[in-house]
Structure 1
């Protein structure tokens, strides 16, 4: 089996697994305590969480506050629904943002979805035209999960801040890989959402970074007042420790991983010569290759290549039968969108994986006469 679906999730790093195992203690251990309890076991668990928080925060902009969430979806929802003013976002955003429209509008706030350019980048002129003094929040991805395109974050943030709006950055695909622009306004974001399982950490935990000058959002969950009263509920020391270990690992070899991913990208581009690239070739994270062959039957291709784990789009939208909203937003027809595949690779992908997968996929496409 060859795994090429890094945008959906990443393999758990051994370092993260080891960090988690200690805090999955049985009845004979002293590591199963509730981190909110005042006794020694509770304090031990709380200390482990704070170490993890520091490691996660080290990859966020400086200053501010980092709180743990169940994932990036919760973090995004917390800011979208817990802040004030109208919302502006873009047509290629994740469903965790776009599907908040009805809930935001139910609060009496406008929710505007702007177009993107044909290369997938945010249309900054549309943003300038749409933003008003009533705009409270601009929500924008750092790196698109389907096509890997990077938005012009610094420019979008500057436009938003000049109009008095805050900026929420969905950094799920960028966190630990790319700088998230300067840490403070007017050039830095106000809120950043991240997810552990996209950086070789465990599923079920994410983080929300709140800038030093940003107002705290209203909580979605009420109860014990944990996480600065923003997210009540007992934290999992094991999940936090796993996230922290994954973040520490990423911080330690970020440059080496960038080099590795670029090498794999070059191999993949050569191996898939003749396929059309979806999205900008220049402004992108190179661990994401979204390509198409017009007329390709992707369902048949995936069946014929069942030992290659790749995607026909976002994992969150798989099985819907609808063409990708991201590919439609950059101008592809329904038929072109449905003839596209996404290959994602990273830390544990080898050059041999790319070469073998490309040979298998190309042979299967040739069997379709393409």
Structure 2
């Protein structure tokens, strides 16, 4: 099997798994039970992981990091928490049409409860117009939610500029950085004034089921949110529940082992694949190619070749038609539609996402097999025949 679906999840790093194992069978204490050694060992392991993550993101105060079950929970905590705390100031939220479904569905829920939403469109390359963002801010705006990098196309938004616009207007900025971290140059939260940011360990060779929400504590104006899960006083009473110690340890180890130089080599693999596939298959389009993109992400639209049919013909190659969170949906990708693609072309789109474990040989095999599969589908397609004859677009 050739695994090319790393934006959905990554294989765990062997060293990360090794670091986690003792906390299942040896140091298995409850981190809140600090009266005895087992609990203190677990608590110390969490503190160490918190420091590792804070160092990687240039977070000056490790207590600004709240552990969650993953990015989806962190997104819900950030958006719902701000709406609950700042409702007396305003009820306006600005987001983007191409955000992850976790953001869009949470915003939709807030809209049904009285919040006013602005969904910014994107340019053809998948980026927002920052001037349009600035114009959309009103005195009632309490939150801007814009992701760092799109999970389907890999298109990177200008988050430093967005953060500056929000800061100048006194509006909170929440950034979903789930796909960005570990796949681009290091994110320096000491330099970029992002108020809240989420991430998830399984996107950069850590374990599933663990993520975090960063909440900046301004000296004069600390960001305030209401908790989503109440119970104990874990995480400063912002997220109750027993700590998942092995996963938190794995989170810290995975982010500590990130090497941004690896992504320079991965970008070379991506470019090699794209050049080869464009040369071999006619009428193929790379979505977001004229925008800054993650080094590992390739979003291909192959004219008049349904992606679902291609995937069925290539059972030994693992890729997807889009976000894992909407797999099974018959609707075309909301991201591609927002970028101006037709529904038909959006349904003819593959997402290929590589990692440091992907080899040049695997990509060459994929190019060959994908080229052959496309050729067979088109040979049997009446629509392709009509297109070749110039009877349809």
TM-score bucket (shorter structure): over 0.9
Equivalent position SS for 1:368: helix
Segment drifting more, 319-328 vs 47-56: 47-56
Flag the structure with larger Rg: 2
Question: How large is the Cα RMSD of the aligned pairs?
Answer: 1.5
Residue among 224, 233, 244 paired with 1:225: 233
Q: Is 1:168–2:177 an aligned residue pair?
A: no
CA gap 1:347/1:128 in 2 versus in 1, 3 angstroms: same
Residue among 348, 351, 354 paired with 1:342: 351
Give the Cα–Cα distance (whole angstroms) in 2 for the partners of residues 328 and 142 of structure 1: 19
Residue among 290, 295, 318 paired with 1:281: 290
Q: Is 1:82–2:88 an aligned residue pair?
A: no
Give the Cα–Cα distance (whole angstroms) in 1 for the partners of residues 99 and 46 of structure 2: 31
Q: Is 1:309–2:318 an aligned residue pair?
A: yes
Q: Contact 2:175–2:196 (CA<8 Å) still a contact in 1?
A: yes
Residue among 202, 212, 224 paired with 1:216: 224
Q: Contact 1:181–1:189 (CA<8 Å) still a contact in 2?
A: no
**TM-aligned CA deviation for residue 108 of structure 1:** 2.9
**TM-aligned CA deviation for residue 107 of structure 1:** 4.4
Q: Unpaired runs of 5+ in structure 2?
A: 379-383, 385-393
**TM-aligned CA deviation for residue 61 of structure 1:** 3.8
Give the Cα–Cα distance (whole angstroms) in 1 for the partners of residues 297 and 350 of structure 2: 11
Q: Is 1:4–2:4 an aligned residue pair?
A: yes
User: How many residues in Structure 1 have an aligned counterpart in Structure 2?
Assistant: 362
Give the Cα–Cα distance (whole angstroms) in 2 for the partners of residues 177 and 55 of structure 1: 18
**TM-aligned CA deviation for residue 105 of structure 1:** 2.5
Q: Is 1:331–2:340 an aligned residue pair?
A: yes
Q: Which residue of 2 aligns with 1:245?
A: 253
Equivalent position SS for 1:202: coil
Q: TM-score, normalised by structure 1?
A: 0.94
Q: Contact 1:181–1:188 (CA<8 Å) still a contact in 2?
A: no
Segment drifting more, 100-109 vs 142-151: 100-109
Give the Cα–Cα distance (whole angstroms) in 2 for the partners of residues 335 and 71 of structure 1: 33
Equivalent position SS for 2:199: strand
**TM-aligned CA deviation for residue 259 of structure 1:** 2.1
Q: Which residue of 1 aligns with 2:68?
A: 69
Q: TM-score, normalised by structure 2?
A: 0.89
Give the Cα–Cα distance (whole angstroms) in 2 for the partners of residues 181 and 165 of structure 1: 21
Equivalent position SS for 2:65: strand
Q: Contact 2:95–2:118 (CA<8 Å) still a contact in 1?
A: yes
Give the Cα–Cα distance (whole angstroms) in 2 for the partners of residues 231 and 259 of structure 1: 37
Q: Contact 2:70–2:200 (CA<8 Å) still a contact in 1?
A: yes
The structure where helix makes up a greater share of residues is 2
**TM-aligned CA deviation for residue 212 of structure 1:** 2.7
Q: Is 1:360–2:369 an aligned residue pair?
A: yes
Q: Contact 2:155–2:288 (CA<8 Å) still a contact in 1?
A: yes
Q: Unpaired runs of 5+ in structure 1?
A: none
**TM-aligned CA deviation for residue 280 of structure 1:** 3.5
